[in-house]
Amino acid sequence: MDIGQAKKTAKALIRKYEGCFLRPYLCPAGVPTIYYGATFYKDGRKVQLTDPAGTIEQAEDLLDWMLEKIYFPGVLKLCSELDNGYRGGALTDFAFNLGLSALKNSTLRKKVNTGEWELAKKEILKWNKGGGKVLSGLTKRRIAESRLL
């Protein structure tokens, strides 16, 4: 798999669908979040709504760190059949958005690991709800990921 392409793809999706907020905010799931959807910092501290605002440089640094240390290695470990960077980027974005545990326990992962890409495309589209409700932003994000699979 082309790791460079996977990183480029994942970062583009994350930037587009997370947006960058330099002040802490509550995400749709009610979790304190900052920058590009980060819920914790490099030192493991959880984001608090009382945390000071940061800079775009800090946001980019944390995103790079999260992708390098957590999400790329996690996706590569869980998905042994990744054959190109676009698929790797899409699945990394999925894991970044929903967590590696969601990917680990999903039918999506099973379809990826058996090379059933058309079924994987359908599976990823099912992950468009927040708080039990279909969210248009998640629907758009899953469609973008599906197209890359």
The whole-angstrom separation of Cα 77 and Cα 71 is: 10
Q: Which residues pair with 130 in a beta bridge?
A: 133
H-helix segments, the chain: 3-18, 56-66, 72-78, 85-98, 100-104, 107-113, 117-124, 136-148
The whole-angstrom separation of Cα 10 and Cα 31 is: 22
The whole-angstrom separation of Cα 131 and Cα 35 is: 22
The residues assigned a catalytic role are 18
